[in-house]
Structures are given as C-alpha cells and as structure tokens.
Amino acid sequence: MKSTILNIARKYILLPRSQAVPNNDLPANIGRHAKRVDAALPGKHTRQLYDRLSWKEASVLAQLRTGMARLNGYLYRINVADTDQCACGQARETVEHFLFRCQKWTAHRMELLQCTNTHRGNISFFLGGKSPSDDQKWTPNLEAVRASIRFAIATGRLEAT
C-alpha cells in the first residue's frame, strides 16, 4: 500500500486516453479519510502545500490529511491504544474532533478560528483540500493550513511519546 497512488497513476498513464479512468477516482477502499479532506488526487495543489513546509510541519500536515495521526481514533484502529475515546471524554478522538471540537484545546484554537468566519469546522479548508464545489482556479488557503499545523504542534498531541 506504500505506493498505491503511484501504482494507479502508472497503470493509467500507459493506457490510451479513451481507456483511462475519466474522473481519476481511487478505489473505494483506499484513502477514505484523505478523500474527505481532498476531492482531488495529489497534484500541484498538494505540492504547493508541502514544498513550503519544514519536515516537522509536513509530517504534521500528512498525519492530519491522511487521518493516520497519533490520535486515539487511529491508534485504537491499529491496536495501539486501549480506546478510541478522546481524553476529554466527549467523543472519539478523530482529526475533526481534535481540530474543531475538543474542549481540552479551546485555548490553542484561537488562531485557527481567526482564519475565517465562513469555513469554520471545514476540514478540507483547514488542511488545504479541494472541495467538490471548488472551481478549477481554486488554490489552498495557506494561512489556514499553517494555522492548523501550528495548532497541532502547540498542543503537542501529535508528538511521538
């Protein structure tokens, strides 16, 4: 699974245009969380996000965008944590819960909330993803992405223990 997207891309590059997948969809069982974050396959916008980040920032963004973060929801799924519940006791500890809802991190969330009034709680917007409703000229809001990364780093929640 290491290079699933790369293998799919190679497969379709070799096909004549008439046989290629028209909408470039990944198989349904690949990258469910990433598809919720970003309607587009990795491309120029993804490179635009990661090229301007340090290794640590890129690592944090990759964890948040893929859902494979050091949060209990994922750790429980891979049998590393005893429960998928957040320490706040309110819900499963998912990326969405961590970024937008967990009361434990309210004080750290101020910068994140100041980025926009219209996209609050929109995981696609805050992680640089393309929504299905975005047009071709869309570009990620790098200010919101950086605020999300700074928030995650400030909490220390994604640090290796």
Nearest partner of 146 among 101, 107, 102, 114, judged by Cα: 114
Q: What is the pTM of this model?
A: 0.74
pLDDT of 112: 86
**Cβ–Cβ < 8 Å for 152, 53:** no
CB 86 within 8 A of CB 92: yes
Q: Say what the pLDDT of residue 21 is.
A: 47
pLDDT the model gives residue 22:
47
Burial of 158 (0-12, 13-18, 19+ CB in 10 A): middle
User: Tell me, what's the pLDDT at 61?
Assistant: 93
Q: For the chain, what percentages of helix, strand and coil (3-state, to nearest 5) are there? A: 50, 0, 50
Residues in CB range of 40: below 8 A, 6 or more apart: 129, 130
What pLDDT sits at residue 3? 57
Query: How far apart are alpha carbons 48 and 6 in whole angstroms?
Result: 18
| Dihedral (CA of 18, 138, 47, 49) sign | negative
Polymer length in residues for the chain: 161
The residue ranges of the chain whose pLDDT is under 70 are 1-36, 38-42, 132, 161
Q: Note the pLDDT of residue 8.
A: 63
pLDDT of residue 5: 59
Q: What is the pLDDT of residue 44?
A: 74
